[in-house]
A and B are shown apart, each in its own frame.
Chain A
């Protein structure tokens, strides 16, 4: 990243080092001071102030752009939906009327026959239940009632609206005007069709059958998709936010901060650096960069001419006083200013953690889209009988995907160190895209397994590549906020993916939704190709591979084993076994649509986003990390166990909700707890190695989850399998808490008081 081109023979090489130090959450390049006598290197204070200033500028822009997007988006969707409802009403209401007419005609004929047999209209038996039965068998009918020729109601369906009955009370026996006004009032809320009841074709009517259709029938029916439309609005807003964030930071604030930093160098007399990339003629910030470069280069040209003049005069001079004077002039300039004559150093494109955020968001979005329907897709493909029970066959693709991730992850870090995030991301995109397309075209479970393994390979590689980018670019003092930038993309995708995946699967089918996933990965790859171009994205040193000896050393720690077996692995079992495998199957079995399944799964991501920031504060306040970790396991178990109260979609949603909260509460303290219980191992092997071992073993829970829960489903069915899983997780959490209490080892403060 740092470029040091040779300076001219007659001028000293610029002494100050240029390095791009990205900043988490809004990062950009800043110039590290190194030389003496320049204002640019004065102190970190002003630099921080300026960083805060540009971060504030980003926020100000986002604060204006996001509400603008929100208002326009909601306004446009509401307007469009209103237009749609009107168009639909125009087409559907005549059909509803035709149906009301058909039903009315048949019912009036039946009543007419009875009257034809000599039973007066007022003496018919069982009319109320008969009309009610007809109404209930014909969706959309608000009421059926029979009046005599004076509009007095004789019979009506059980739940005829009071307003309708009172209208008929008003008009019964009234004059023509009263009747006309009454019916006009009635038509506001209902489309009332009156059919005469005749005993024979040529007879005068004995009364009228009124069939009422709710005037808002179409609107009411379309309200069924209101949740879908709101979901689309929410997802669109999140996607807008993600894209605007990167646009504002990468194209506005980061380059501005870079120009600002160079200007500050210039204020101190250092004109040795130009901006590397000033393309994009319409871009206002780049135009400013070009203007800056023009000034600095003009100075360089002038300085070059001065040096040439000096060389010529020096060569022709014999007067030592004159030569000394020339040296004085040049020396004075060199002391005050740093101006190269030929080669300027070029400031690299500003790095930012946000450069990987949108591609990562899209990539995770693609995978999350499969959550609401993958087991159902497997069920659809499961045409041949394998040697496994169906419930276990449905679990296989999830387990294979998780297994591929578990196997590849330990190697992916070293690949990223060696090849860089950009290249590894692009390499990982190939199996990912192939995996989704192959899955879309799969003819059976065996080939689907191969494609899912490929997707798992790509997932692991890309995830770790992006994590590596964060590791390189996060300010060491702000690693946590760097990681938050990374996890923010993952959580946002976990909210958007399942809901949109569910909606698409419902409307266009499973295979086309998988093709959409492949498309999203391609878009992510194109973005990463552009966004990481020219930025530093790999480590100078390659991390050592994970050794079996290190694993053995870490796993000899009993307290870590307890944490793994009683909290971390059960949490993963619940995640993949319940959320990814059982929930879609169970909810579909309960009659929920794919959209609804997607929305329920989305709740997990939503709770993660909402609770994670609070969880860190709670952890600091409570101090007892084991309580949070064990308590989180107990809470998620209780939420899942609650299915025994009522086997309904609401209880599944409740389980997802509590699980989202519980995992958010437990995950951050869990990592700190690992470092605490493995303090010795961290000192010996390093924190990264210990956490890698922990993560690797924990991922076994991801692999085993669908299989374990699938076995329970085979034995007990969906509801009971869910309850048993919840019970298991709850008991494990309780044992963990008990062990910590017994060993009197449960208080670990994360922050010094």
Chain B
């Protein structure tokens, strides 16, 4: 099964177009994921900063972190604000959980990855007194991507610059993934619709662009077939060179050439070439037929 030029060209453009659409979709989705995570991270960072400032205010009044009993209630309250928050933990400088929305974690150690991230932030924060400056506090949050959660935390520093521990929020990665997956699905459908529409327009466009050349080629092909048919007919009918299809060979374009060519608004150089070729081919065929008739006549005379 062959493939027409129009289809071949249209397919090529469609393939390149699909490559561009795919890459654009990838770029958009990646940016969406990035943006969603960034907005979420900012919100979570703000929440931990707010909690941190409350804790630092009390710390600066001389209360040790592990004695702040109200913290447990505050954490649980914040946890209820957003169902996608998996847990909020307050831990000491060694990573031992002091308070947490999941009480079963209290007394456990935070994961080594959190501890590393916390310590690198705490090192930077060391010597920078925590002023309990509330929502306006300068950012020193850390971010850890756990397999199931986005973890945003910050160190807690007293006004003397001592590292008192840290606080971290675990946000369900599944919630982000769900949103991204739903958006991806929606975009894929939209991309398919746009691609189908554009694919259709591409086919129409290429069809229109190629129409002229296709028409001309078809005209020449018709003339060629007519010429071949004339040759067959001349041979089979026994008319030989007197067959009407060959008789007009000496004319400018030949009967079939005229008949078919007359319909064309413009005769392309290729068509003109074919007419001249056809005329010579008719002449040649006529000569051969004439020769055969002559030879047969000589044979009959004998």
Complex Cα gap A57–B201 (Å): 23
Q: How far is the CB of A512 from chain B (nearest CB, A)?
A: 12
Kindly list chain B residues whose C-beta atoms are within 8 Å of the C-beta of A252.
5, 213
- Chain A 213-250 against B: per-residue CB contact (8 Å), 1 yes, 0 no? 00000100110110011001101100110011001100
CB <8 Å contact, B135 and A103: yes
CB <8 Å contact, A336 and B284: yes
Could you say which of A76, A107, A288 has the most chain B C-beta atoms within 10 Å of its C-beta? Answer: A76
Q: How far is the CB of A518 from chain B (nearest CB, A)?
A: 17
The total of chain A residues at the interface (CB under 8 A) is 109
Instruction: Tell me which of B183, B186, B284, B292 contacts A269 (CB under 8 A).
Output: B284
Complex Cα gap A106–B133 (Å): 12
CB <8 Å contact, A228 and B231: no
Instruction: Tell me which of A57, A80, A286, A312 contacts B194 (CB under 8 A).
Output: A80
Does B2 touch A at the CB level, under 8 Å?
yes
Does A332 touch B at the CB level, under 8 Å?
yes
Kindly list chain A residues whose C-beta atoms are within 8 Å of the C-beta of B4.
282-284
CB <8 Å contact, A243 and B16: yes
Complex Cα gap A69–B19 (Å): 13
The verdict on A106 contacting B302 (CB below 8 Å), with A91-B36, A236-B16 known, is no
CB <8 Å contact, B299 and A316: yes
Kindly list chain B residues whose C-beta atoms are within 8 Å of the C-beta of A284.
4-5, 213-214, 217-218, 221
Instruction: Tell me which of A84, A98, A312, A329 contacts B187 (CB under 8 A).
Output: A84
Does B3 touch A at the CB level, under 8 Å?
yes
Instruction: Tell me which of A133, A240, A287, A306 contacts B221 (CB under 8 A).
Output: A287
Complex Cα gap A235–B25 (Å): 15
Does B46 touch A at the CB level, under 8 Å?
yes
The verdict on A292 contacting B302 (CB below 8 Å), with A79-B194, A91-B36 known, is no
Residue in A closest to B180 when the chains form the complex, CB atoms:
A91
Complex Cα gap A281–B27 (Å): 40
CB <8 Å contact, B27 and A295: no
Q: How far is the CB of B161 from chain A (nearest CB, A)?
A: 21
Kindly list chain B residues whose C-beta atoms are within 8 Å of the C-beta of A282.
1-4, 7
Quick check: which of A196-204, A296-304, A706-714 contacts chain B, the rest being far away?
A296-304
Does B105 touch A at the CB level, under 8 Å?
no
CB <8 Å contact, B39 and A263: no
The verdict on A329 contacting B291 (CB below 8 Å), with A228-B27, A232-B20, A232-B24 known, is yes
Instruction: Tell me which of B217, B276, B285 contacts A285 (CB under 8 A).
Output: B217
Q: How far is the CB of A140 from chain B (nearest CB, A)?
A: 7
Does A553 touch B at the CB level, under 8 Å?
no
Kindly list chain A residues whose C-beta atoms are within 8 Å of the C-beta of B220.
288, 291
Instruction: Tell me which of B5, B224, B273 contacts A267 (CB under 8 A).
Output: B273
CB <8 Å contact, B31 and A80: no
Kindly list chain B residues whose C-beta atoms are within 8 Å of the C-beta of A53.
269
CB <8 Å contact, B27 and A225: yes
Kindly list chain B residues whose C-beta atoms are within 8 Å of the C-beta of A84.
25, 28, 32, 187, 190
Looking at chain A's contact residues, the main secondary structure is: helix
Does A170 touch B at the CB level, under 8 Å?
no
CB <8 Å contact, B187 and A87: yes
Complex Cα gap A412–B289 (Å): 57
Residue in A closest to B270 when the chains form the complex, CB atoms:
A260
Instruction: Tell me which of B36, B49, B301 contacts A95 (CB under 8 A).
Output: B36
Instruction: Tell me which of A68, A76, A106, A240 contacts B209 (CB under 8 A).
Output: A68
- Chain A 102-140 against B: per-residue CB contact (8 Å), 1 yes, 0 no? 110011001000000000000000000010011001111
Beta-carbon contacts under 8 Å, B16-42 to A: 16-17, 19-21, 23-28, 30-32, 35-36, 38-40, 42
Does A326 touch B at the CB level, under 8 Å?
yes
CB <8 Å contact, A291 and B276: no
CB <8 Å contact, B9 and A110: no
Complex Cα gap A725–B31 (Å): 37
Residue in A closest to B222 when the chains form the complex, CB atoms:
A291
CB <8 Å contact, A96 and B39: yes
Kindly list chain A residues whose C-beta atoms are within 8 Å of the C-beta of B231.
295, 298-299, 302
Residue in A closest to B225 when the chains form the complex, CB atoms:
A291
Kindly list chain B residues whose C-beta atoms are within 8 Å of the C-beta of A224.
31
CB <8 Å contact, B21 and A134: no
- Chain A 40-57 against B: per-residue CB contact (8 Å), 1 yes, 0 no? 000000000010010001
Q: How far is the CB of B260 from chain A (nearest CB, A)?
A: 13
Kindly list chain A residues whose C-beta atoms are within 8 Å of the C-beta of B288.
299, 302-303, 306, 333
Q: How far is the CB of A60 from chain B (nearest CB, A)?
A: 9
Complex Cα gap A68–B198 (Å): 11
Kindly list chain B residues whose C-beta atoms are within 8 Å of the C-beta of A95.
36, 39-40, 43
Kindly list chain A residues whose C-beta atoms are within 8 Å of the C-beta of B3.
280, 282-283
Instruction: Tell me which of B30, B46, B225 contacts A138 (CB under 8 A).
Output: B46
Complex Cα gap A275–B173 (Å): 64
CB <8 Å contact, A291 and B46: no
Complex Cα gap A247–B9 (Å): 7
CB <8 Å contact, A99 and B46: yes
- Chain B 198-229 against A: per-residue CB contact (8 Å), 1 yes, 0 no? 10011001100110011001101100110110
The verdict on A137 contacting B134 (CB below 8 Å), with A102-B46, A316-B299 known, is no
Does B148 touch A at the CB level, under 8 Å?
no
CB <8 Å contact, B301 and A322: yes
Residue in A closest to B31 when the chains form the complex, CB atoms:
A225
Residue in B closest to A228 when the chains form the complex, CB atoms:
B27
Residue in A closest to B4 when the chains form the complex, CB atoms:
A282
Complex Cα gap A500–B125 (Å): 40
Kindly list chain A residues whose C-beta atoms are within 8 Å of the C-beta of B32.
84, 88, 91-92
Does A542 touch B at the CB level, under 8 Å?
no
Q: How far is the CB of A738 from chain B (nearest CB, A)?
A: 49
- Chain A 65-77 against B: per-residue CB contact (8 Å), 1 yes, 0 no? 1001100110111
Q: How far is the CB of A274 from chain B (nearest CB, A)?
A: 13
Instruction: Tell me which of B7, B16, B217, B284 contacts A69 (CB under 8 A).
Output: B16
Does A621 touch B at the CB level, under 8 Å?
no
Does A682 touch B at the CB level, under 8 Å?
no
CB <8 Å contact, B225 and A316: no
Q: How far is the CB of A192 from chain B (nearest CB, A)?
A: 18
Complex Cα gap A291–B2 (Å): 16
CB <8 Å contact, A99 and B39: yes
CB <8 Å contact, B299 and A313: yes
Q: How far is the CB of A302 from chain B (nearest CB, A)?
A: 5
The verdict on A306 contacting B292 (CB below 8 Å), with A80-B24, A134-B135 known, is yes
CB <8 Å contact, A310 and B217: no
Instruction: Tell me which of B9, B21, B221 contacts A80 (CB under 8 A).
Output: B21
CB <8 Å contact, B281 and A306: no
Kindly list chain B residues whose C-beta atoms are within 8 Å of the C-beta of A468.
none
Does B136 touch A at the CB level, under 8 Å?
yes
Q: How far is the CB of A332 from chain B (nearest CB, A)?
A: 7
Complex Cα gap A263–B217 (Å): 14
Complex Cα gap A280–B1 (Å): 7
Kindly list chain A residues whose C-beta atoms are within 8 Å of the C-beta of B195.
76
A interface residues, Cβ below 8 angstroms from B? 50, 53, 57, 61, 64-65, 68-69, 72-73, 75-77, 79-81, 83-84, 87-88, 91-92, 95-96, 98-99, 102-103, 106-107, 110, 130, 133-134, 137-140, 218, 221-222, 224-225, 228-229, 232-233, 235-236, 239-240, 243-244, 247-248, 251-252, 256, 259-260, 263-264, 266-269, 271, 279-288, 291-292, 294-296, 298-299, 302-303, 305-306, 309-310, 312-313, 316-317, 319, 322, 325-326, 329-330, 332-333, 336-337, 339, 500, 503, 506-507
A302-B285, A313-B298 provided; 19 other pairs, C-beta below 8 A?
A61-B209, A83-B187, A92-B35, A103-B46, A107-B134, A133-B136, A138-B42, A232-B23, A236-B23, A247-B8, A247-B9, A247-B12, A282-B1, A284-B4, A287-B217, A298-B285, A312-B299, A333-B288, A500-B23
30 A-B residue contacts at CB 8 Å? A72-B205, A73-B17, A84-B25, A87-B186, A88-B35, A91-B36, A95-B39, A96-B39, A137-B46, A221-B31, A221-B35, A222-B28, A225-B31, A240-B13, A251-B8, A252-B5, A279-B2, A282-B4, A284-B218, A285-B217, A291-B225, A295-B224, A295-B227, A302-B288, A317-B299, A322-B301, A330-B291, A337-B284, A500-B23, A503-B23
The 3 A-B pairs at the shortest CB distance, nearest first, are namely: A281-B2, A291-B224, A282-B2
